[in-house]
């Protein structure tokens, strides 16, 4: 089968395209004919080898988490059958989206909304599950609450804006000057231009959903009301997140020890601190599919690349200026 793959850890020079053997289908797996695959920034860090201890690669390694396609073959008791249009987020330890075929554990699959193309469906799994798990499992966002979404114009942000509006929140989002109109088109109540405004001046917030983190984390925590909740997405995973990947509690605590100063600051300020790692989950994805089917969520795909141009997609993503999502067309015209 044709695939885009990595030949080792490194920069874009390790991204290759060619023929690879068909995937191994294990008990409980559904074999999928992949039509489209969504691109996510974490893949750049995985390509560099930054996750090699937690999620080691074996080369040639097909990367990529988010797929949409059609079932070729499924176990009888899986609830799926040949010909079903499906989408999924693959498990972190078994990525492989940028290939014509992939084997997916049945419990991670959901039926593709008929209103979406495969390209649109492939743009959703990671960003949708991230917002779902942050808003519903972690911070319990309630109607009428004020939420700040950092990086509102990117993949994570565009989905989170629509989902937070659906949950009845008042949404403030940050972006550069060039994306202010775009934020308004997405339906934010307040667009903040981070190049000339301070998000603190539009708070205080009940919840911060932070797709930027780094030097903004401390300011974001302090912009919360007492009783507020912070959820960080970039290199801030907490012990609960590591445990959800299967790490024992003691190791999970050690792995998240770098957050201690933010956890202390949050406690001092009377707010909760969360650092999320997205979990693949077919049941949640099916609920997200229902929202897309109903038109509550509209995917934002800004650019589609062919399978042999994964390196170009990674280069575009690395600029940090992507609007919405980038998607790879794995099998053209399907
Ligand atoms: N923890 C997890 O499991 C998890 C899950 C999903 C994503 N993430 C992480 O979350 C981050 C965002 O993901 P993404 O998919 O949204 O990435 P993305 O699509 O590459 O985000 C690009 C967007 O970031 C915006 N941006 C850059 N600097 C900004 C700043 N200082 N303030 C506000 N906006 C800024 C840009 O808007 P402008 O051009 O207007 O600046 C651009 O639209 C990534 O680091 C990703 O790895 C983590």
With a CB cutoff of 8 Å and minimum separation 6, the contacts of 206 are: 141, 142, 145, 146, 147, 224, 225, 227, 228, 229
Chain-centroid distance, C-alpha 307: 20
> Best mutation site among 135, 157, 162, 217 for ligand 1, i.e. most ligand atoms within 8 A of its Cβ?
157
Residue nearest to atom 41 of ligand 1 (CA): 176
Q: Are β-strands 190-193 and 170-175 bridged in parallel, bridged antiparallel, or unpaired?
A: parallel
Q: Mean pLDDT over all residues of the chain?
A: 97
Q: According to the CATH classification, is domain 2-123+300-329 in 1.10.3730.10?
A: no
Say how many Å lie between the CA of residue 20 and the centre of ligand 1: 32
> At residue 93, does pLDDT exceed 90?
no
pLDDT in tens, 101-158: 999 999 999 999 999 999 999 999 999 999 999 999 999 999 999 999 999 999 999 9
- Against a cut of 0.95, is the pTM above it? yes
Distance between CA atoms of residues 333 and 322, nearest Å:
24
Q: What tokens does 81 get? A: 């059958």
CATH for the stretch 126-275: 3.40.50.720
Nearest to 47 by CA among 76, 83, 6, 79: 6
Mean pLDDT on 66-77: 97
Burial of 264 from C-beta contacts in 10 A (0-12 / 13-18 / 19+): exposed
Ligand 1, atom 35, lies closest to the CA of 151
Per-domain boundaries in the chain: 2-123+300-329, 126-275
Centroid of ligand 1 to alpha carbon of 235 (angstroms): 12
Write the pLDDT tens digit of every residue in 240-276. 999 998 899 999 999 999 999 999 999 999 999 999 9
Ligand 1 centroid distance, CA of 72 (Å): 34
CA distance 227 to 241: 21
Report the distance separating Cα 153 and Cα 31, nearest Å. Answer: 34
Pocket test for ligand 1, best of 46, 151, 240 (most atoms within 8 A of CB): 151
Cα(47) to ligand 1 centroid in Å equals: 18
Orientation angle between helical segments 282-293 and 125-132, nearest 10 degrees: 100
Give the integer Cα–Cα distance in Å for 306 and 5: 14
Q: Matching CATH topology for 2-123+300-329 and 126-275?
A: no
């Amino acid at each position: 089968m044709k695939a885009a793959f990595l030949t080792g850890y490194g920069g874009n020079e390790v991204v290759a395209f060619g023929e690879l053997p068909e995937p191994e289908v294990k008990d409980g797996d559904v074999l999928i004919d992949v039509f489209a695959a969504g691109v996510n920034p974490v893949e750049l860090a995985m390509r560099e080898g930054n996750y090699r201890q937690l999620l080691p690669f074996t080369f040639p390694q097909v990367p990529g988490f988010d797929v949409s396609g059609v079932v070729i073959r499924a176990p009888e008791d899986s609830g799926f059958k040949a010909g079903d249009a499906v989408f999924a987020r693959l498990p972190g330890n078994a990525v492989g989206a940028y290939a014509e075929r992939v084997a997916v554990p049945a419990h991670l699959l959901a039926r593709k909304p008929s209103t979406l193309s495969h390209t649109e469906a492939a743009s959703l799994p990671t960003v949708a599950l991230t917002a779902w798990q942050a808003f519903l499992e972690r911070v319990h966002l309630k109607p009428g609450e004020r939420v700040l979404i950092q990086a509102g114009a990117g993949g994570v942000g565009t989905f989170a804006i629509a989902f937070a509006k659906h949950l009845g929140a008042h949404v403030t989002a940050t972006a550069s000057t060039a994306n202010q109109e775009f934020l308004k088109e997405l339906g934010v109540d307040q667009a903040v231009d981070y190049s000339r405004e301070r998000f603190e001046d539009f708070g205080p917030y009940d919840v911060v959903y932070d797709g930027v983190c780094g030097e903004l984390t401390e300011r974001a925590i302090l912009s919360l009301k007492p009783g507020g909740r912070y959820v960080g997405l970039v290199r801030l995973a907490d012990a609960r997140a590591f445990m959800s990947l299967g790490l024992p509690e003691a190791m999970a605590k050690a792995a998240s020890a770098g957050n201690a100063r933010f956890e202390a600051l949050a406690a001092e300020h009377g707010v909760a601190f969360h650092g999320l790692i997205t979990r693949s989950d077919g049941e949640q994805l099916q609920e997200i599919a229902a929202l897309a089917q109903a038109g509550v969520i509209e995917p934002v795909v800004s650019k589609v690349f062919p399978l042999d141009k994964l390196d170009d997609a990674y280069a575009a993503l690395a600029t940090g200026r992507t609007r919405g999502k980038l998607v790879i067309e794995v099998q053209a015209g399907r």
